[in-house]
Amino acid sequence: MAVASRKWPRLSRMQRHDLFYGVLFASPWLIGFVLWTVYPIISSLYYSFTRYDLLQPPQFIGLTNYINLTTDDDFFLVIQNTLWWVILSSPIGVASAFLMAVLLNSRIVARSAFRAIFFFPSIVPIIVVSSVWAFVLNIQYGAINATLRAFELPTIPFLSNPTVVKPTLLLIHMWMQGGAMVIFLATLQDVPRELYEAATMDGAGSWSRFWSITLPMCSPVILFNMVMAFIGGFQNFALPWLLTQGGPNRATEFFAVFLYRNAFQYLRMGKASALAWILFIVIVIFTVMLFRSSARWVYYRSE
């Protein structure tokens, strides 16, 4: 009863004044957050239980959108493509960024220039990246195939062969890991030098120092980049859409591409909203699994 009857303390005049002006100054962000984040989330959840094509009012159909996906062959093809991409691109992208950071953390000639060159692809707009790679990989006039043709070697259909196109996108993805590389580079520079000096005095080689010092000290940042890579992998859209639009033969029809196609080409907003919520649930599950597994391989200095 004492807890139930407890009242909130009354605010003084000065506190009410500060609260009013605090909310007033934060109101542009609060209004934008409600209009552009909270409302779309709630409305998409509602639309996922409806049949809605933007032309007619939404019709409530319950779980029909979700049930229909369980018998949709296209949906299972998309799941297969997306899992292939996430399982390969996430660890390979993080590993390539980490190895680039280790290389650029060593004493090499023109290290600052190489750091800028490696970081540059991550700040270029994705439309520019896609246009450049579409030109370079073109089977008729692309630079790579033109060179192969000059040496009388067979050309490679990078973007027109269903077997080759996904590894091609994976290589471009590795090339764009400059952002993660910079985070790893900052982490490597924060590793205490005395640990390497002590290990060297004990006779540890370069591989032993890397395995026993560098990896454990960088493991929290590896976890962070892995989580971001998994989330980005499930949401991968711009690169495959701009280069292949889900082709050839739907080989790059990833989840986000399939969602976009249903929403803005077929105007199946109800189905697209259901796909968005399925994607959200899958990302949450994978993220929780990754954090649960981190207790076995992530080392924190405070421990």
C-alpha to C-alpha distances, 303 to 66, 210, 298, 299, nearest whole angstrom? 44, 20, 11, 8
Query: 217, 299 in Cβ contact below 8 A?
Result: yes
Q: What domains lie within the chain, and their CATH numbers?
A: 13-64 (no CATH), 71-296 (1.10.3720.10)
Query: 267, 53 in Cβ contact below 8 A?
Result: yes
Identify the DSSP state of 9: P
For residue 180, give the nearest of 242, 243, 233, 239 by alpha carbon. 233
pLDDT of residue 10: 82
For the beta carbon of residue 63, count every other beta carbon within 10 angstroms. 10
163 burial level (CB within 10 Å; 0-12, 13-18, 19+)? exposed
| Integer Cα distance of 36 and 34 in angstroms | 6
Structure tokens at 112: 């600052």
Given CA atoms 66, 68, 74, 79 in this order, what sign does their dihedral have?
Answer: positive
Query: 213, 196 in Cβ contact below 8 A?
Result: yes
CA angle in degrees (0–180, nearest 5) for 203-208-210: 125
Query: 94, 225 in Cβ contact below 8 A?
Result: yes
Backbone dihedral angles phi then psi of residue 249, each to the nearest 5 degrees? 55, 35
pLDDT of residue 1: 47
What is the pLDDT tens value at each position of the chain, 303 positions in all? 455 455 667 878 888 888 899 999 999 999 999 999 999 999 999 999 999 998 899 999 999 999 999 999 999 999 999 999 999 999 999 999 999 999 999 888 888 899 999 999 999 999 999 999 999 999 988 999 999 999 999 999 999 999 999 999 999 999 999 999 999 999 999 888 898 889 988 888 888 989 999 999 999 999 999 999 999 999 999 999 999 999 899 999 999 999 999 999 999 999 999 999 999 999 999 999 999 998 888 988 765
For residue 96, give the nearest of 37, 174, 169, 168 by alpha carbon. 174
For residue 166, give the nearest of 216, 240, 238 by alpha carbon. 240
C-alpha to C-alpha distances, 227 to 97, 257, 294, nearest whole angstrom? 14, 21, 11
